Amino acid sequence: MAAPWEDVLRNEAAVQEAARVAVDAALLAGVLMRTEGQPNASDVVNYAPFTLLPSAVPSALFEQAYAVQQDFNLLVDAISQNKEFLEHTLASTIKVDDFTARLFRIHVQILEEGLAQSVFLGINRSDYMFDCGVDGTPALKQIEINTIAASFGGLTSRTAAVHGQVLKVLGKSEEATRLLPNNPAKGLAVGIAKAWELYGSPSAVVMFLVEEVQRNIFDQRCVENELWNRNIRVIRKQFRDVFEKGSLDDARRLYMDGQEVAVVYYREGYVPKNYNQKNWEARLLLERSRAVKCPDIATQLAGTKKVQQELSRPGTLERLLPGRPEAVARIRATFAGLYSLDMGEEGDKIAAMAIADPDRFVLKPQREGGGNNLYGEELRQVLEKIRGSPERTSYILMDKIKPQPAMNYLLRAHSPLQVSECISELGIFGVYVRRGKEMVMNEAAGHLLRTKATKHADGGVAAGVAVLDTPFLV
Same-domain pairing of 208 and 263: yes
Do 379 and 354 touch, CB atoms closer than 8 A? yes
Same-domain pairing of 262 and 251: yes
Find the domain containing 381 and state its range.
338-400
Please pick, among 30, 92, 125, 226, the residue that the annotation labels catalytic: 125
Query: What is the spatial distance between Cα 429 and Cα 190, in angstroms, rounded to a whole number?
Result: 13
Residue 418 located in a structural domain: no
Same-domain pairing of 388 and 437: no
Residue 427 located in a structural domain: yes
Same-domain pairing of 207 and 344: no
Q: Identify whether 305 is a catalytic site residue.
A: yes
Residue 126 located in a structural domain: yes
Do 450 and 427 touch, CB atoms closer than 8 A? yes
Q: Identify whether 144 is a catalytic site residue.
A: yes
Listed in sequence order, the residues at least 6 apart from 12 whose beta carbon sits closer than 8 Å to its beta carbon are none
Please pick, among 55, 124, 146, 183, the residue that the annotation labels catalytic: 146
Residue 64 located in a structural domain: yes
Other C-beta atoms lying within 10 Å of the C-beta of residue 367: 18
Query: What is the spatial distance between Cα 271 and Cα 104, in angstroms, rounded to a whole number?
Result: 14
CATH number at residue 190: 3.40.50.1760
Q: Is 424 helix (H, G, I), strand (E, B) or coil?
A: strand
Do 198 and 435 touch, CB atoms closer than 8 A? yes
Please pick, among 237, 267, 364, 392, the residue that the annotation labels catalytic: 364
Same-domain pairing of 368 and 440: no
Same-domain pairing of 323 and 344: no
| Distance, C-alpha 117 to centroid of its chain | 24
Please pick, among 305, 306, 367, 452, the residue that the annotation labels catalytic: 305
Return the pLDDT at 458: 60
Amino acid letter, residue 350: I
Please pick, among 237, 293, 450, 452, the residue that the annotation labels catalytic: 450
Same-domain pairing of 347 and 257: no
CATH number at residue 376: 3.30.1490.50
The burial class, CB within 10 Å (0-12 / 13-18 / 19+), for 323 is exposed
Query: What is the spatial distance between Cα 203 and Cα 356, in angstroms, rounded to a whole number?
Result: 61
Q: Is 63 helix (H, G, I), strand (E, B) or coil?
A: helix
Closest CA to 229 of 267, 264, 192: 192
Please pick, among 369, 376, 459, 464, the residue that the annotation labels catalytic: 369
Q: Identify whether 11 is a catalytic site residue.
A: no
Residue 201 located in a structural domain: yes
Same-domain pairing of 215 and 283: yes
Query: What is the spatial distance between Cα 221 and Cα 133, in angstroms, rounded to a whole number?
Result: 40
Same-domain pairing of 260 and 396: no
In tens digits, what is the pLDDT along the chain, a chain of 474 residues? 677 888 888 899 999 999 999 999 999 999 999 999 999 999 999 999 999 999 999 999 999 999 999 999 999 999 999 999 999 999 999 999 999 999 999 999 999 999 999 999 999 999 999 999 778 899 999 999 999 999 999 999 999 999 999 999 999 999 999 999 999 999 999 999 999 999 999 999 999 999 999 999 999 999 999 999 999 999 999 999 999 999 999 999 999 999 999 999 999 999 999 999 999 999 999 999 999 999 999 999 999 999 999 999 999 999 999 999 999 999 999 999 998 898 999 899 999 999 999 999 999 887 766 667 899 999 999 999 998 898 898 888 999 999 999 999 999 999 999 999 999 999 999 999 999 999 999 999 999 999 999 987 665 666 668 999 999 999
Burial annotation 6-24 (CB, 10 A radius, 16+ → b, else e)? eebbeeeeebeebeebbbe
Q: Identify whether 368 is a catalytic site residue.
A: yes
Q: Identify whether 450 is a catalytic site residue.
A: yes
Same-domain pairing of 149 and 203: yes
Q: Number of folded domains in the chain?
A: 2
Residue 149 located in a structural domain: yes
Amino acid letter, residue 430: G
The burial class, CB within 10 Å (0-12 / 13-18 / 19+), for 33 is buried
Other C-beta atoms lying within 10 Å of the C-beta of residue 403: 17
Q: Name the β-bridge partners of 120.
A: 434
Please pick, among 144, 175, 211, 287, the residue that the annotation labels catalytic: 144
Query: What is the spatial distance between Cα 471 and Cα 449, in angstroms, rounded to a whole number?
Result: 6
Q: Name the β-bridge partners of 338.
A: 398
Residue 410 located in a structural domain: no
Same-domain pairing of 210 and 291: yes
Residue 238 located in a structural domain: yes
Q: Rg (Cα) of the chain, in Å, rounded?
A: 22
Judged by phi (left if over 0) then psi (alpha if -120 to 50, else beta), residue 431 lies in: beta
Do 163 and 8 touch, CB atoms closer than 8 A? no
Same-domain pairing of 295 and 326: yes
Please pick, among 55, 73, 92, 151, the residue that the annotation labels catalytic: 151
Query: What is the spatial distance between Cα 333 and Cα 345, in angstroms, rounded to a whole number?
Result: 28
